[in-house]
Amino acid sequence: MAKKVFIVFIAVLLTVANTSGLAEQPEQKVFEKRTDVPPIGHIDPSKYRDGEKPHDGAGVLSYFTLLDGEVMETNYLFFHRGVLKPKSGIGEHIHRTMEEMYMVFDGPSQYTVNGHTAELPTGSMVLCPMGSSHAIYNPSDRPLQWMNIGVGAEKGKYDAVNYNDNRVNVRVESPAPFLWAQFDRSLLHPAPRAHGGKGAILFRRIWSNENFKTNWYFVDHCLLPPDTSIGYHQHNTIEEVYYVLSGTGRYTVNDKTYDAKPSDALPCRLHDSHGIYNNSNENLEIMVVSVASAKGYDRYGKNWGDDLSDR
């Protein structure tokens, strides 16, 4: 009798173990390839408009919407691209339903987060978390190339409250008491055959899901040497935008291939297939900005086995 009970007990344990193992395996889903193509954002200074004293800031900001969030299906709000004119900036303000990232490409600037100001070097980016006040100011005598990216807690919802503070002639702290990063090639590391691509690109994850309060998923810095690629692949719960920092290449989305050049914003929506190949003799440098359909939710990705070198 004891032997029969023991055998039954072992059988139950094996059943539970097998059931548990099956539950832990990732669910497989198949998504059709999309065929429609999202619009690519191209820089066009002729479309810039002047915003005087933005958020009660100093001077003038010239800018336009490089990529509208309505192009995407997750909670992207905008990619803005423009110029901070000399002695100009965006005044201190707060968003309670969204977060932003500010960056300046060609000179040092003064960034403020929660009332603390620091002057950061060329190529810096600052995360402005949801519920944190922020500002930026160009103290120099020359215009600076500026960009900001907005992601909402809800699709299409924007809000702002101004502090009536232009952050001119404020105390500058060092080191910066807030989260910031820089496009630093020395911090990149090799990533062979990214998404089944050709060769080894150089890669760094600057910020990940844990750094954000919204569904913002990550910000990556990638450098593609000549004749390398990020292979053709599909995301089904996250969206990406490749922003070209420098160099040229060929971007493929949903089996259509386009020339990519500096300051292009190359979108990949849910279920789009995409990748990028460096067909030039110089490095191609990009920033990858990703937003998930739900907080931290990245599932069902698929590599298509195409390194794009023949497209």
Percentage of the chain lying above the pLDDT 70 cut? 91
Do 45-182 and 185-303 have matching folds?
Answer: yes
Q: Where are the domains of the chain?
A: 45-182, 185-303
pLDDT at residue 8, rounded to an integer? 42
pTM of the entire structure? 0.89
- Topology, domain 45-182: Jelly Rolls (2.60.120)
Q: Which of 65, 76, 59, 62 is nearest to 138 (CA)?
A: 59
Q: 310 Cβ partners below 8 Å, 6+ apart? A: none
Provide the 8-state DSSP code for 214.
Answer: S
pLDDT digits (tens, 9 = 90+) for 233-268: 999 999 999 999 999 999 999 999 999 999 999 999
pLDDT exceeds cutoff 60 at 90: yes
pLDDT at residue 27, rounded to an integer? 57
* Positive or negative torsion for Cα 11, 13, 18, 22: positive
pLDDT at residue 73, rounded to an integer? 97
CATH of 185-303, one of 2.60.120.10, 3.40.50.300, 2.140.10.10, 1.10.10.10: 2.60.120.10
pLDDT exceeds cutoff 70 at 1: no
Tell the residue number behind the tokens 């006040």, with chain if given.
Answer: 133
Rounded to whole angstroms, the Cα distance separating 62 from 102 reads 15
Computed over every residue of the chain, the mean pLDDT equals 92
Mean pLDDT of the 157-177 span: 97
pLDDT at residue 30, rounded to an integer? 76
Are 137 and 168 in contact, with CB atoms under 8 Å apart? yes
Is omega for the bond preceding 175 within 30 degrees of 0, making it cis? yes
